[in-house]
């Protein structure tokens, strides 16, 4: 954390791995659902996306903020869907 005047700014280094991953709060990830299907989301840490198997969509995460808008999401390929199915259950 850095203090600037009377404000405290949280830096990436101050985020603890137990609660945050690349600026995303793990508790927030557990609460989020797909806005289209209301189904669970998987977090792709490599691409910084929230993946919805049921909607076949990948929602971007920009600067730690999930953008859960259908028109901002990209469509998942058949290969990506199969890979998701083979992984552990969603968050």
Q: Which two tokens stand for residue 36?
A: 């289209």
Q: pLDDT at position 7, please?
A: 47
Whether the pTM exceeds 0.75: the reply is: no
The string of pLDDT tens digits covering residues 11-21 is: 444 434 445 55
As to burial, measured by CB atoms within 10 angstroms (0-12 exposed, 13-18 middle, 19+ buried), residue 91 is: middle
Neighbours of 59 (CB within 10 A): 23
**pLDDT of amino acid 84:** 85
SS (H, E, C) the chain: CEEECCEEECCHHHCCCCCEECCEEHHHHHHCCCCCCCCCCEEECCCCEEEECCCCEEEEEECCEECCCHHHCEECCHHHHHHHHHCCCCC
pLDDT tens digits for range 33-91 = 999 999 999 988 889 999 999 999 999 999 888 999 999 999 999 999 998 888 755 55
Domain ranges in the chain?
A: 2-86
Pick the CATH number of 2-86 from 2.40.50.100, 3.30.70.920, 2.20.25.10, 2.40.50.140: 2.20.25.10
Predicted pLDDT at 22? 55
């Amino acid at each position: 954390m850095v203090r600037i005047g009377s404000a405290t700014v949280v830096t990436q280094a101050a985020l603890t791995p137990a609660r945050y991953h690349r600026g995303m709060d793990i508790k927030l990830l557990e609460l989020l659902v797909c806005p289209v299907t209301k189904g669970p989301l998987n977090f792709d840490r490599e691409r910084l996306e929230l993946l919805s198997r049921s909607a076949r969509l990948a929602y971007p995460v920009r600067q730690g903020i999930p953008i859960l808008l259908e028109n901002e999401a990209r469509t998942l390929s058949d290969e990506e869907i199969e890979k998701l199915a083979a992984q552990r259950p969603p968050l």
